[in-house]
Structure 1
Amino acid sequence: MRFNPKARIDESQIENREGRGGGGLGGGLGGGSGMRLPIPTGGGGRIGVGTIIVIVLYVVVQMCAGNSVVPGTGDSNSAGTGQAVAGTCRNGADANKNMDCAIDLLTNSVQAFWATALPAQANIAYQPIKTVKYTGQTSSGCGTAQSAMGPFYCPNDKRVYIDRDFMRQMLQGELGAKGGPFALGYVLAHEYGHHIEDQLGILGQMRTQQGPKSDSVRVELMADCLGGVWAKSATTTKDADGNVLISDLTADDIARAVDAARAVGDDRIQRETSGRVNEESWTHGSSAERTRWFDTGLKQGSIAACNTFKTESL
């Protein structure tokens, strides 16, 4: 994947936070948990972020209850893993060299797509939000965000929270997936898929939290599908000046996004962490289901195709 070097990054869509030191899972996400990607294990049973995580379920409650630049180490097709100071991510050339800037431009792409697609397909005006990048832990409208939780969308404050360590490990293929820049795109598009679900009124209707056919699993699979919908049109998204944001997307890039979806299946994570699969505790869906729904969105490109609540066959 290559970003258009001339594309301008809109940093008004980003909150850069230094974060605080890590820590365990203490504090959790109170007042209504966010919708999150679970952190998969790495090869050989190693947990990617250093600890076995408890997947905090989304509980239906009231919804309103200065570092220096580290140069990127990759080439133009493997955005470097450095952390950029706010204001230094200006264009696609920066995104091709730096992971932080890649996250920013991917955020711009996802939101540019939905700003057009949501009103066209659902007759709803898209509400732009922000991606919060942090390291270690930070506060959120859903409680304390910590690196062990992985990326998540918080419906209380309408923010997508992205831990840089998770994204670095996803980029470098340390979480049981092949990695690469478009794997980062999958993560962001999935979380913004939850924002679309929020705008459609779906999150407020969730009732069942666990099980292979639960509302929780259906919501997560729908977010995977909505991520695929964006991916289908990713190379058509543009900045405010009309410059295409993503100039090159290959079959290998798409395969890496699909592989990222496979890596965060409940069954795969359970096998890696405990050696057994218990479908009744699923909250996100199996690897096969996650890849199938991402592929459905990728092929059909519509919100209607992603309605996981209208089928028994997930």
Structure 2
Amino acid sequence: MVFQGDGPLDTGDVSGGGGGGGGVGRIALGGGAGLIITLVALFFGIDPGSITGGSGLGGDTVSSQNASELDDHIQSCTIEKANTDAICRIVATTNSLDKVWSAEMRGYSPPRTKIFTGSVSTGCGAATSATGPFYCPADQTVYIDPSFFAQLEQMGGSNGPLAQEYVVAHEYGHHVQNLTGALQKGNRMGSQGPLSGSVRVELQADCLAGVWAYHADKGPDAMLEPLTQQQIASVIQTAKAIGDDTIQGANSNPEGWTHGSAQQRSRWFTIGYRSGDPRQCDTFATNDL
């Protein structure tokens, strides 16, 4: 178990959506309107055509459900169910993230989260499961299809509970950046290259996910049990699996990077996790990424 205790979860900002087919529209690359691109898997930074489909919901294996069924599933979630059910794990993680960021950031307001299957309409346009998890600044909403977790494992990442929670925490990091103006700053610095705004935004989101992990198991009201080194290792494995150089292989060209290398992604998560201090996540203050 990762989440401790039992009882209902706050589902006020979480809803279900999708369930149908549909094409990919223009969606947001975490970094604001100027970084809107087409046919890019946002969390990976790769062509979604290279990701096999799949769907699913209940338990750690998920099956296609419509929006109404998803909403019913979400409303049934408890802290205890979050340890065996992927959808409830997403909901519990949003509860933990809101608790941590409300304490760590003055003026924090929570995003909405939409759990979907198939395709979904967003404030940034239409998207499908192939898009991967993403944050849309236009409607301040995190979008996640739980089938992504199995796809992530196929890419060499971990499908362990904390690795899944890291995915949610990374997208919440983009919301924090939207509130602080970091998304807008990154947007002005370009969308490709080793020192681009996009890479800085993505690495900072990894670091902010680490900050959450540092605080999530501390204090009398902590939702997570004490994290183990094995669980942290599962996140590092996942961060490395989605580095630009890992995905692109031997012919990787840093000038085309959008998310950062395997080493950089794991390094910045670790900086956040070891320090627990969002101020240590200023990827815009250094060229030593």
Task: Give, in angstroms, the shift of residue 306 of structure 1.
Answer: 0.3
Q: Is the 8 A contact 2:9 2:79 kept in 1?
A: yes
Distance (Å, rounded) in 2 between the aligned partners of 1:217 and 1:28: 20
Distance (Å, rounded) in 1 between the aligned partners of 2:50 and 2:7: 36
2:105 corresponds, among 98, 102, 118, to 118
Q: Is the 8 A contact 1:28 1:144 kept in 2?
A: yes
**Alignment match, 1:76:** none
**Alignment match, 2:239:** 261
Q: Is the 8 A contact 1:7 1:245 kept in 2?
A: no
Q: Is the 8 A contact 1:10 1:108 kept in 2?
A: yes
Distance (Å, rounded) in 1 between the aligned partners of 2:58 and 2:191: 43
Answering whether residue 274 of structure 2 is matched by residue 292 of structure 1, we say: no
Distance (Å, rounded) in 1 between the aligned partners of 2:224 and 2:207: 20
Task: Give, in angstroms, the shift of residue 248 of structure 1.
Answer: 4.2
Task: Give, in angstroms, the shift of residue 234 of structure 1.
Answer: 1.3
Where does structure 1 differ by over 6 angstroms across 4 or more consecutive aligned residues?
none
Structure 1 unmatched runs, 5+ = 52-68, 73-78, 120-124
Distance (Å, rounded) in 1 between the aligned partners of 2:136 and 2:57: 29
**Alignment match, 1:97:** 84
Distance (Å, rounded) in 1 between the aligned partners of 2:85 and 2:108: 28
**Alignment match, 2:279:** 304
Q: Which has the larger displacement, 290-299 or 83-92?
A: 83-92
Output the aligned Cα RMSD.
2.6
Answering whether residue 249 of structure 2 is matched by residue 249 of structure 1, we say: no
Summarize the Cα distance change of 1:182–1:195 in structure 2 as closer, same or farther, 3 Å threshold.
same
**Alignment match, 1:15:** 15
Q: Is the 8 A contact 2:15 2:74 kept in 1?
A: no
Alignment of 1:26-175 (within 5 A): 27-29=25-27, 32=33, 33=36, 36-38=42-44, 47-50=50-53, 72=59, 79=60, 81=62, 85-119=72-106, 125-170=107-152, 173-175=153-155
Summarize the Cα distance change of 1:5–1:22 in structure 2 as closer, same or farther, 3 Å threshold.
farther
Paired residue total: 271
Structure 2 unmatched runs, 5+ = none
Distance (Å, rounded) in 2 between the aligned partners of 1:289 and 1:309: 14
Task: Give, in angstroms, the shift of residue 29 of structure 1.
Answer: 2.1
Identity %: 40
Task: Give, in angstroms, the shift of residue 251 of structure 1.
Answer: 1.1
Secondary structure (helix, strand or coil) at the match of 2:144 reads strand
Secondary structure (helix, strand or coil) at the match of 1:310 reads coil
Q: Is the 8 A contact 1:261 1:290 kept in 2?
A: yes
Q: Is the 8 A contact 1:40 1:263 kept in 2?
A: no
**Alignment match, 2:201:** 219
